[in-house]
Copies of this chain bind each other. A is one copy, B any other.
Amino acid sequence: MGGALEPTTTARAGDVVRLPPGSRDVLPQEARELRAISDGLRGVFEAAGFGEVITPTLEYSDVLARGVLGNPSPTYRLIDDRGAWLELRSDMTVPLARVAATRFHGHDEPLRFWYTQTAFRPVPALQGRSREVQQCGVELFGVPGYGGDREVLGLAARSLDATGLPDARIVVGDARLSATVLESAGVDAEAITAAHDALFAGDLVTLEGILLEAGLTEDRVRALGALLRTRGDASVLDAHADAFGTPGRELAETLSSLTTSEKERVIVDIGLVRDLDYYSGLVFEVVHPAIGEPIGGGGRYDGLVGKFGDDRPAVGFALNVDAVHRAQMLGATA
Residues of A within 8 A of B (CB): 1, 4-5, 7-9, 12-14, 16-20, 23-29, 31-32, 34-35, 49, 51-60, 63, 66, 76-78, 80-82, 84, 86, 88, 95, 98-99, 101-107, 109-113, 118, 120, 122, 124-125, 131-132, 308-310
Contact = CB atoms under 8 A, between A and B. Distances in A.
A12 B109 CA distance: 19
Nearest to A39: B39
A238 to B, nearest CB: 38
Nearest to A78: B78
Contact of A5 (B16, B51, B58, B88): B51
Contacts of A98: 17
Given A99-B25, A103-B9, A309-B16, A118 B31 contact: no
Contact of A18 (B14, B18, B51, B63): B63
Given A17-B66, A98-B17, A99-B25, A31 B9 contact: no
Given A80-B122, A111-B4, A56 B23 contact: yes
A105 B13 contact: yes
14 contacts: A8-B104, A8-B107, A9-B104, A12-B103, A17-B102, A18-B60, A19-B59, A19-B60, A23-B56, A25-B54, A25-B103, A31-B53, A57-B132, A81-B125
A7 B77 contact: no
Contacts of A131: 56, 58
A32 B282 CA distance: 30
Nearest to A76: B78
Nearest to A99: B25
Given A9-B102, A20-B60, A25-B53, 18 more contacts: A1-B51, A4-B110, A5-B51, A5-B111, A9-B105, A13-B101, A19-B59, A19-B63, A25-B103, A27-B99, A28-B52, A31-B51, A31-B52, A32-B51, A56-B132, A57-B57, A57-B118, A76-B86
B13 A58 contact: no
B17 A82 contact: no
A122 to B, nearest CB: 6
Contacts of A99: 25, 27
Contact of A17 (B29, B111, B309): B309
A31 to B, nearest CB: 4
A27 B53 contact: yes
A81 B129 CA distance: 14
A102 B12 contact: yes
Contact of A20 (B84, B105, B113): B84
A104 to B, nearest CB: 6
